Amino acid sequence: MADRGVDLAALPNEVREQLAELELELSEGDITQKGYEKKRAKLLAPFVPQTQNVVVSIKLTPGLSSDPTSNPNAIPVAAPRQHRAHRSGGTRDDRYRSDIHTEAVQAALARHKEEKMALPMPTKRRSAFVQSPAENCTPPDTSSASEDEGSLRRRQAAISAMLAQNLQSPEYWINRSVQSSSTSSSASSTLSHGDGKTHNHSQGQTSVIFLSTGVPAHSRVSTKIQQLLNTLKRPKRPPLSEFFLDDFEEIVEVPQPDPNTPRPEGRQMIPVKGEPLGVVSNWPPALQAALARWGATQAKSPALTALDITGKPLYTLTYGKLWSRSLKLAYTLLNKLGTKNEPVLKPGDRVALVYPNSDPGMFWVAFYGCLLAEVIPVPIEVPLSRKDAGSQQIGFLLGSCGVGLALTSEVCLKGLPKTQNGEIMQFKGWPRLKWVVTDTKYLTKPSKDWQPHLPTANTDTAYIEYKASKEGTVMGVAVSKISMLTHCQALTQACNYCEGETLVNVLDFKKDSGLWHGVLTSVMNRIHTISVPYSVMKACPLSWVQRVHVHKARVALVKCRDLHWAMMAHRDQKDTNLSSLRMLIVADGANPWSVSSCDAFLNVFQSHGLTPEMICPCASSPEAMTVAIRRPGAQGTPLPARAVLSMAGLSHGVIRVNTEDKNSALTVQDVGHVMPGALMCIVKPDGPPMLCKTDEIGEIVLNSRAGGTMYYGLPGVTKNTFEVIPVNSGGTPIGEVPFKRTGLLGFVGPGSLVFVVGKIEGLLSVSGRRHNADDLVATALAVEPVKTIYRGRIAVFSVTVFYDERVVIVAEQRPDANEEDSFQWMSRVLQAIDSIHQVGLYCLALVPANTLPKTPLGGIHVSETKQHFLEGSLHPCNILMCPHTCVTNLPKPRQKQPGIGPASIMVGNLVAGKRIAQASGRDLGLIDDQEQSRKHQFLSEALQWRAQTDPDQVLYMLLNAKGVAVSTATCSQLHKRAEKITAALLERGGINTGDNVVLLYPPGIDLIASFYGCLYAGCIPVTVRPPHPQNLAATLPTVRMIIDVSKAACILTTQTLMKILRSKEAAGCVNVKTWPNIIDTDDLPRKRPSNIYKPPTAEMLAYLDFSVSTTGMLTGVKISHSAVNALCRSIKLQCELYSSRQIAICMDPYCGLGFVLWCMSSVYSGHQSILIPPMELETSLPLWLSTLSQYKIRDTFCSYSVMELCTKGLGTQTEALKARGVNLSCVRSCVVIAEERPRLALTQSFSKLFKDLGLSPRAVSTAFGARVNLAICLQVGAKNVLPVHCLYRLLHALRLVERGAPQSLPLMESGTILPGMRVIIVNPETRGPLGDSHLGEIWVNSPHNASGYYTIYGEESLQGDHFNTRLSFGDTETLWARTGYLGFVRRTELLDARGDRHDALFVVGSLDETLELRGLRYHPIDIETSVSRAHRSITESAVFTWTNLLVVVVELNGSEQEALDLVPLVTNVVLKEHHLIVGVVVIVDPGVIPINSRGEKQRMHLRDSFLADQLDPIYVAYNM
């Protein structure tokens, strides 16, 4: 550990305080054990006694001599031949192979060997992976091996003891289920960190066996979560209090600079000069002139030999033919494509060259033809399909270069993708192109008087070479004629090219070294080029070696992969000889991992005449062209040195010799000296181009006449790259000459040798340290990937998540790899990268073989892969997310704040300097007509009175799916039907006054009649939603539970439902023999009761209202006759209801305000209600909207589920509805009835979608009710309070912010407070009133409050606490009811009816549902809203917590192969928007998340199902 040899007592005070803070964080579970150890080591590092001195010089190891055994320091070379025979070619990408590195990785992994990984493997549904054997589907549940057994037993014993205390008696749970506690913080913490008991209500109390970890024993999910917790070593957090202080400090914890970070100590570097560029008398004045000269004087001399697919010569192009064909093409381009007056091409126009890699001859002719015609060639890859990787970016290049014409060969044109009518397809993002075929038979011989213009090379653009940036954008680097010529001269001098030599080129001849050496310099020097295409290399990897042997080639131009492939295949060829070579140019020798390829190749081919001096690595970039190249050495001269560097030093951008840990060393070879005539500097890669120190890594910049001049058509980007003037440490420019950025990172070593350690585009900057993507690939490949990774195909990139770069590795998985091997490999890669590079991986994904986007030559297209990853279209088959280890900059958990107590100064209506947050509705007003008031004291009397005074007034009309009124009820019909039901109850039911009667009806008039029948009989009605006939198993137990809890004496229902209750299917779910007496009310005898019951007092119970809350709690409340009367009067006043009005109701009538509007309001106010059962919308979606239009309805009431159904189902059909005459301009108010925060996004979408049908944007509003009071707010008619935006997680005070502020949440007013209602916002902990715009619990006082919970045990403590409670200071006399919802009151500029300023009530969410994580309070809906935006295939999501872990369940509406794409996207969005790390991501099918009748998610039911392993998920990812 870091504190070895450190005297803790001697440490400075602030360090000791920081250590104590760390201990506290660990004990509270805010930091993982690993994070704790890292931070502790960092703090103590400055005080550990130092042992070794820093070495600034570079340790140089002599290069390999011809006898590899003679040098003890030499790099161990490839394994002996007999071992190599077993290694299959291509299973591993040996460009990155280094035996030293492999040893280092194995050593790093060996350290972890003792700790056998106990990572929970993801759970996968079998159909989601076809290729793996079934037994790997569910891993064995191993216990964590990260602790010794003793400590594990101790922990388990402790957990068992804790559980024993916490598991109360069964009665406790039943009480909890009946009277859902809406306020106590213990309730919310039990809900969010519950003990995993599943409430199986249908069989009464079930016995659940618990593991010592506190989860049901049969659940493998729970075991895995325990494994995950063990890997995080996270102790359970104590429950957090409600309110926390947040002084709005910087969100992100900024990592403190480590005093031990190595810093550069050398002097400032001096620019390095290449040798002067010599002047040779016979060098041509321009490249075209050289071609003209050889075409005339050496016409028979071979210029180019092309090979067929088998590797045999196909044709040879002589200099004479090359000249004559190029001349023909130039003439054709300028004179034959248009008319004489309107030529299609003029000198200076850009032309695309589209030729396949296998046809160099056509390309050469096209390229030189363009040069002779003075049009600018833009060589690009052949597009193979409409959606090629990067094809859109090529389109951007063609557009920015203004290309309108493409040259190609006849064969290539035939192979291009075509549309059905035979035209060439329009490629994505490409401009419209004219295609010209350049085969000789289509070219015209120039007329005798036509001669090409051959000017001396000048600064005009000669050609444009494409270049892809790190982000994937493709730009064109313009090369001028003088640059092209100078570069050829510099290469000729550096490589010592002679006239008539032979060169074998394996590289792509369209760009980079393949073009510069193999097409341009070769023509200048009359060299014979043998071009070996990529397709031949794939079929016969040794073909280039054979060509060198056959043609006695002097120079070969290759990449590391070609060395590797040839080495793998060399056994097939005994008699090759490479002694004719003087230069083997390794074009990607700048890759730090090239050194091992070169060594291994030399070792194999030394016996075939290869010598170490021949190997010439070079460094180049599209902008600067060739930067440096190792000159061919004379036989026997000592080889240049190697540098063995510390990777830790490199990550900080400094050069340190690796002394202490050979596992994290990087050996690099030089790339020779700077090019002739060039000047080189090393500058800092970010910020101003300041010169580096001699021991510092920086970007190489080059000043030379031979290089690109600009990004064509992009002047803005050009300046930053092509016109850089380095400055010294004081910030003054070192001269006037501009340098070009090369994009290469490196340094200048002894003897002015250039060393390259990586590229800017492969640079990953994580927490201030730099890592090279290639280095990470090499480490991943060194973790024996043979069983897992397909052909070594690995991509590494970084994504920005939560203010820092995070490393992502994506690899292709072999088709035969099994689940367990893959997971094992992934976990080992995590360890290896952590040990060697000291960087945490954010995500490691395996995708099926051959599915990553490819570059034209078969490599991985990294930017496109990254794009797929971020869009969620990568389709991994395995994924491992490790956000806990690499996200270390999360804000600190909030500290508790002293609440506002009685000590707060309260003056009049001010608390803590703010107006008290209270609001009230209008006065209910004195009732004028005494006679009428007596009749209206009970609702049953109101119905009798209406039946006498206005018997034919239609109160209710029920519509079916076709919009036809299937039944209506006038006052007298309803009264008579109620009387029949009363008679049946008294006769058949043997009912006593005060008995509870369950009403089990579909939405309709029968339900209303039986409600009044119960009132007439003196019974207490309990409405229950009927079970769903197709889903009895899920819906019938709830019916049974309400019947049992309410102790119902009988059930009133229809014949159909009665049959269902007694069916065999029902018997499978519940005990059907113990139903109470069931009375079917379909055919009742015409009897009247002898008398109608009148309650002795209005305080007696009218009915019971049962509802299942979103936390899965069943709660019944008692509603008295006086409350019914006051509520109906309040609604009548608010909605201006009277007998000539019509309203439409489309919602379920079983509880809350929906039941009041459906059954009672019309009888009280006399207006007509048109009833639309929501289930009818399933067969006829437009029913509700067309009813509003047909009956010219002013006011309508609906639920969120109805609104969502219309928004999703009718959003695209507004034109059709308009054509059918649907017009919603009559609607004054459309009120959504709910017991939750208003769903702003949904109401706004609804308003926007149906605006075209005349719906006023101000018509949609919301109502709000709770269990203690069924209707608190209800808004009819427009009162336009604009939505407010707030940072809602700051728990003590709400911070209102501008729209669009990050982390902000838009909230809309929850409707106008009803008449007779008073609302106050209270701190739920201190019970003191809060100030305006402060977040607290909503308390209410009104004549229509519920009387209390209906409970079988009569536990009175909750009763008093929730229904009759008082403030701790201020107005302590008033009795309030606690709603259990958080919200705030805000005074607005609008005026109400009394002329006062309007107080708006904003509901934020239920206290029961809040999740408390990291000391902040979260409402599940906010996290779910973010998650649902993460990917188009997410239809619904739900979140809950389990033992400190945030679990996100996501419904996938798409193919199962998209399931794993969602894991990183969900993790990213929650981290970015909520600063939380997701612990478990569960992907399920649509419809799995349970939703109640009001459209609210039942998150606790979901949690219980997940822990009991009943969800059948597609995939469960455990984020480590």
Q: What is the pLDDT of residues 1312-1369, one digit of tens each?
A: 999 999 999 998 888 999 888 888 999 999 999 999 988 655 555 667 688 889 998 8
**Residue 1481 main-chain phi, psi, to 5 deg:** -115, 125
* pLDDT bucket at 19, cuts 50 / 70 / 90: confident
Quote the tokens at residue 627.
Answer: 């930067």
pLDDT at 1491 over 90: no
- Please give the pLDDT value at position 601: 92
How far apart are the C-alpha atoms of 1377 and 1370, rounded to whole Å?
16
How far apart are the C-alpha atoms of 1053 and 1001, rounded to whole Å?
6
Average pLDDT over residues 453-458: 89
Q: Which residue type does 1116 have? A: G
- Please give the pLDDT value at position 1158: 94
**Higher local confidence (pLDDT), 438 or 596:** 438
pLDDT at 895 over 60: no
Average pLDDT over residues 1157-1186: 93
Residue found under tokens 């050289």: 290
* pLDDT bucket at 59, cuts 50 / 70 / 90: very low
Q: Are 1082 and 980 in contact (CB under 8 A)?
A: no
- The Cα-based distances of 220 to 141, 215, 223, 1482 in angstroms read 7, 10, 5, 14
- Please give the pLDDT value at position 555: 96
Q: Are 940 and 1407 in contact (CB under 8 A)?
A: no
- Please give the pLDDT value at position 246: 40
Average pLDDT over residues 334-338: 87
Strand partners, 702: 680, 740
How far apart are the C-alpha atoms of 238 and 1415, rounded to whole Å?
11
> Other CB atoms closer than 10 Å to residue 93's CB: what's the count?
22
How far apart are the C-alpha atoms of 1116 and 1042, rounded to whole Å?
9
* pLDDT bucket at 629, cuts 50 / 70 / 90: very high
Please give the mean pLDDT across all residues of the chain. Answer: 82
pLDDT tens-digit profile of 1431-1487? 999 999 999 998 788 999 999 998 988 999 999 999 999 998 888 999 999 999 998
- Please give the pLDDT value at position 283: 85
Which range, 58-67, 363-372, 648-657, is most confident?
363-372
pLDDT tens-digit profile of 696-710? 999 999 999 999 999
How far apart are the C-alpha atoms of 1343 and 1365, rounded to whole Å?
15
Residue found under tokens 């309730």: 187
Quote the tokens at residue 808.
Answer: 């992502």
- Please give the pLDDT value at position 3: 54
How far apart are the C-alpha atoms of 1474 and 359, rounded to whole Å?
55
**Residue 621 main-chain phi, psi, to 5 deg:** -150, 155
Q: Are 598 and 617 in contact (CB under 8 A)?
A: yes
- Please give the pLDDT value at position 1410: 86
Give the lowest-confidence range in 259-273, 765-779, 899-913, 1447-1461. Answer: 899-913
pLDDT tens-digit profile of 914-930? 788 899 888 887 544 44
- Please give the pLDDT value at position 134: 34
- Please give the pLDDT value at position 1279: 62
pTM, two decimal places: 0.78
Q: Judging by beta carbons within 10 Å of its beta carbon (0-12, 13-18, 19+), is residue 340 exposed, middle or buried?
A: exposed
Which range, 281-290, 379-388, 1414-1423, is most confident?
281-290
Average pLDDT over residues 270-279: 91
Q: Are strands 1416-1418 and 1434-1442 parallel, antiparallel or unpaired?
A: unpaired
Residue found under tokens 């280094």: 98
Q: Are 607 and 631 in contact (CB under 8 A)?
A: no
Q: Are 346 and 330 in contact (CB under 8 A)?
A: no
Q: Give CA angle at 1351 (1347, 1354), nearest 5°.
A: 90
pLDDT at 1268 over 80: yes
- Please give the pLDDT value at position 518: 96
- Please give the pLDDT value at position 138: 33
Find the largest Cα–Cα distance for the chain. Answer: 131
- Please give the pLDDT value at position 5: 59
**Higher local confidence (pLDDT), 974 or 1493:** 974
Quote the tokens at residue 255.
Answer: 């990592």
pLDDT at 83 over 60: no
* pLDDT bucket at 453, cuts 50 / 70 / 90: confident
pLDDT at 587 over 80: yes
pLDDT at 376 over 50: yes
How far apart are the C-alpha atoms of 467 and 761, rounded to whole Å?
12
- The Cα-based distances of 363 to 201, 355, 439, 1492 in angstroms read 78, 6, 11, 68
* pLDDT bucket at 247, cuts 50 / 70 / 90: very low
| 110 sits in which H/E element | helix 99-113
What order of strands is seen across the sheet that includes strand 60-61?
A: 60-61, 642-646, 665-669
Q: Are 445 and 328 in contact (CB under 8 A)?
A: yes
How far apart are the C-alpha atoms of 635 and 662, rounded to whole Å?
33
